[in-house]
Structure 1
Amino acid sequence: MATKENSGSTDAESTQKTVNAVLDAVARTAPEVRRGLPGRRIAIEGKNPSGEEQKAADVYTDELLLERIGSISNVGVYASEERASGVDVGSGLSVCVDPLDGSSNLEPNAAMGTIVAIYDDDLPASGRDIVAAAYVLYGATTTMIVARSNKETVTEYVIHESGDYQVVREELTLPENPSVYGFGGRVPHWVEEFEEYVSEVESDPSMKLRYGGAMIGDVNQVLTYGGIFGYPTLTNAPEGKLRVQFEGYPVGYILEKAGGASSDGRKSLLDVEKDDLHARTPVYVGNEGLIDDLEAALADRY
Structure 2
Amino acid sequence: MTDIINAIKSSAIKINKAIQTEDTSKAQTENSSGDVQVKLDLISDEIIENEFKKVSSIKEIVSEEKQDINPMHGNGDYLIAYDPLDGSSLIDVDLSVGSIFGIYKDEYSGPNIVAAVYVVYGPRVELVIARDVVELYRLDEEINEFIFQKELRLSEKGKLVGPGGTQKEWYSYHKKMIDEFFADGYRLRYSGGMVPDLHQILLKGGGLFAYPGAGDRPKGKLRKLFEVFPFAFVYNKAGGLAIDGKNDLLDLGIEHIHDTSPCFLGSNYEINRVLKTYSKVKK
Normalization by structure 2: what TM-score? 0.95
Identity %: 31
Correspondence 1:122-161 to 2 at 5 A: 122=107, 125-148=108-131, 151=132, 153-161=133-141
Deviation at 1:40, TM superposition (A): 2.5
Deviation for aligned residue 1:137: 0.5
Q: Which amino acid aligns with 1:276?
A: H
The equivalent residue for 2:279 is: 299
CA distance in 2, matches of 1:40, 1:33: 12
Structure 2: unaligned runs, 5 residues or longer: none
- C-alpha contact 2:135 2:148 (8 A) present in aligned 1: yes
- CA offsets per residue over residues 40-90 of structure 1, 9 Å max, x none? 211111100000000100000000100101220121101100010111011
CA contact (8 A) 2:156 2:268 kept: no
- Tell me the secondary structure at the aligned position of residue 175 of structure 1: coil
Q: Which residue of 1 aligns with 2:95?
A: 110
Correspondence list, 1:9-88, <5 A:
19-37=1-19, 38-88=21-71
Moved over 4 A (4+): none
The structural deviation recorded for 1:104 is 0.5
Determine the structure 2 residue equivalent to 1:213. 192
* Corresponding residue of 1:4: none
Partner amino acid for 2:126?
T
Aligned counterparts of 2:50 and 2:145: Cα–Cα separation in 1: 19
**Does the residue aligned with 1:235 lie in a helix, a strand or coil?**
coil
Q: Is the 8 A contact 2:157 2:269 kept in 1?
A: no
| Deviation (angstroms), 1:177 | 3.7
- Between the aligned partners of 1:39 and 1:61, the Cα distance in structure 2 is 11
Q: Please give the alpha-carbon distance, in whole angstroms, between the structure 2 residues aligned to 1:260 and 1:89.
A: 34
Deviation at 1:266, TM superposition (A): 0.8
Greater shift after overlay, 74-83 or 31-40?
31-40
Contact 2:41–2:85 at 8 Å: present in 1 too?
yes
Contact 2:157/2:270 (8 A) holds in 1:
no
* Paired residues, number: 277
Task: Return the offset for 1:218.
Answer: 0.5
Decide whether the 8 Å contact of 2:126 with 2:139 is kept in 1.
yes
Partners of 1:70 and 1:94 in 2: CA distance? 12
Which of 190, 208, 226 aligns to 1:246? It is 226
How far is the alpha carbon of 1:139 from its aligned partner?
Answer: 1.4
- Please tell me whether residue 175 in structure 1 is matched to residue 175 in structure 2: no
Cα deviation code 1:117-164 (max 9, x no counterpart): 110113xx111111110100011110111111xx2x210011222431
1:217 maps to amino acid? P
The residue type paired with residue 94 of structure 1 is L
> Counterpart in 2 of 1:164?
145
Please give the secondary structure, in 2, of the residue aligned with 1:267: coil
User: Cα deviation per residue 1:262-283 (whole Å; 9 max; x = unaligned)?
Assistant: 0111111101222200000011
Q: How does 1:200-279 map to 2 (within 5 A)?
A: 200-205=180-185, 207-225=186-204, 226-279=206-259
Q: Secondary structure at the match of 2:177?
A: helix
CA drift of 1:29 comes to: 2.0
Quick check: 1:134–1:144 contact (8 Å CA) kept in 2?
yes
| Aligned 8 A contact 2:156 2:269 in 1 | no
For 1:169-228, what per-residue CA distance to the aligned partner results, in whole angstroms no more than 9, with x for missing partners? 0x31012341111111111000111101101111112x2111011101100111012101
Contact 1:61 1:99 in 2 (8 A): yes
